[in-house]
Amino acid sequence: MQLLSALLLLLTPLSLALPTSISFLDNPLEARQCYTTCGSNCYTQAKVTAAKNAGYSYVKQGGTAGGSTYPHAYNNYEGFDFPVSGPYYEFPLLSSGQTYTGGSPGADRVIFNSGGSLAGEITHTGASGNNFVGCSGTS
């Protein structure tokens, strides 16, 4: 009995120091998860959304990023089955995690429609010529 009492006395301060919620796991873990993978590049939902929002902002303003041609019309020659109707625009998704502001666009793109709704993600990686293939989740 004395051993049990001593053990309880030792563990009580430790149990009071433990968090009462695991909410600290919610956002950081989700933020690191791949929403889509293009070739070997993993993109979180936040990065895809940021790229889509930046591209759509340029469309609404009638401009392009840093003197580039992006965003520009995407004609869907490959015949992807996007969940939203067109017309579509393409805008670079950068493997660095930054939002595209001009320069080399890399291989990956976010596709959105004229209403700003996300259509999908595509990449030149693994495609022949200047074609695209779908990133994970885009068919």
The residues carrying an active-site annotation are 72, 90, 124
Q: Residue for token digits 């303003």?
A: 61
**For the CA atoms of 110, 116, 120, 122, what is the dihedral angle to 10 degrees?**
-30
Three-class DSSP category at 89: strand
d(CA 133, CA 128): 9
Structure tokens at 120: 């999908």
Total residue count of the chain as it appears in this document: 139
CB–CB of 52/35 below 8 Å? no
CB–CB of 71/59 below 8 Å? yes
